[in-house]
Each structure stands twice: as C-alpha cells, then as structure tokens.
Amino acid sequence: MQLPRQGPGGDAETRIALGMCSLGTDARLHVADLSCGTGATALLLAETLNAEITAVDSFSEFLDELMRNAKSKSLAHKIRPVQAPLDALPFEENSLDLIWAEDSVFTIGFEAGIGAWKPFLRPGGYLVVSDITWLSVKRPAALTAFWKEAYPEAGLPSAKMRVLEKHGFCPVGYFPLPEHCWTDNYHHPLQQAFEAFLNRNGNSGAAQAIVGNVQAEISFYNQYKSWYSYGMYVARKLV
C-alpha cells in the first residue's frame, strides 16, 4: 500500500522535535533519516534545514517514491537515498550532525540502536528517536503482556532517558505523539487504501489476511490508546 507515512507521526510534531535541537545555520549539516519510508520526514527536513539528508531505508520502492516526491518539490539535490539495514549503516564515525529515527528503532531494540548509532554522531550532535512508551505507570495487564512479548523494551519515559544517559547522551526533551498522529495521519489513510490494495491483489486470502492484521492493530490501539503511544526523544551526544 502506497501511503504518505509508514507509521504514526506528523509534520507539526517533527517541527517540535527539530526545534529542540540547537543546530547551527551557517555550515551545511549532515543528517541521516533512518527507515525514512516514502520520505514524509526527510522532505520536511530538507525543506527546513541547510543540510544534506541521507535517507536510509531497506526497501528500494520507498526510496524511489521519496525521490519522485523530492523532484516534484525541487529538493532532490538535498537528499541522498541509500538502501541499507539499520544494523549496517554506511556512515563514518563523527560524520553526522543529526540522526532522525521515527518508528524504526524497535526493529533492533532501543538500547542496541542507541549504542550502534552513537559513533556516527559528532560530539554535540543530536539524536531524535521515537519508541513505544507507556503513558502511565499503571495500565491494563493485557496491554503489558502484549508488549512484553511483542517488544520488551516498551517502557516509561524515565527508563528511556536512563538508557540515553548510560550511552553518553544528554536528554534534551521528550513528548508523546498525540492521538491524531495515529488516527488522522496513519490509520485513516491505511483504511482508505484497503479496497484498492485488495483489488490489486485479486482479493486473495493473503491480501485479506494482511488487511485483517492491520485492522486488528488499529482496534488494539483504539482500545488501549490511553496507556501507550510513541514517545519522541531528543538527546545530544556529549563526547
């Protein structure tokens, strides 16, 4: 399914997180957008910053769509697409001013990702990363059990901050993604794409199973949205 976003998020929230980063405006910045998808955030970063954006994703189809959109916005000269997995990034040490990773670190784990990506940042560089975050100390047991199995590093903001500090980062800010980042920006476009997706795939059993799984994820969020979301974390590398 071709979608503007491959996970919860929003332009306004990207700008809030970016505003927490004290990035210089004189020198050209070097920025990496990890698991960029079709490029909603990469395009906004390119529009906003004096920077070269290296947009990394495992899927060439997403990168192709990103570059088509970049060309239509006259931003292609600021974006370099790279096909690579998150655990084998093609960057030199101390080469990046900003690493941006939305909806992606769970694929390798929060602490593993923080540790693996830190060397690529220059001292004083910034990391913006989102991860599944509890909104309350107390929550339904079924929700805790689900995420314990699906992603054991789902946790409170304080726990994420401690991991950042442990790995030599100074936490700068945090905020949870609001509901519209899930519903208006992600779930509703998904649901609107279901019919076309099923038609393209001959309404096959496999296609129906995919749609059923996505619908189940949406229902799960609607049931438990008071207790969890993605948290946006902004941190500065100390040394």
**DSSP state for residue 120 in the 8-state scheme:** G
Query: pTM of the full predicted structure?
Result: 0.95
- In the numeric block, which tokens belong to residue 21? 């980063």
Could you count the other beta carbons within 10 Å of the beta carbon of residue 126? 25
**DSSP strands (E only) in the chain:** 29-34, 51-57, 79-83, 96-101, 121-134, 169-176, 228-237
The span from the CA of 139 to the CA of 116, in Å, is: 31
State residue 74 phi and psi, 5-degree precision: 60, 40
Walk along the chain (239 residues) and give the pLDDT tens digit of each residue.
678 899 999 999 999 999 999 997 778 999 999 999 999 999 999 999 999 999 999 999 999 999 999 999 999 999 999 999 998 999 999 999 999 999 999 999 999 999 999 999 999 999 999 999 999 999 999 999 999 999 999 999 999 999 999 999 999 999 999 999 999 999 999 999 999 999 999 999 999 999 999 999 999 999 999 999 999 999 999 99
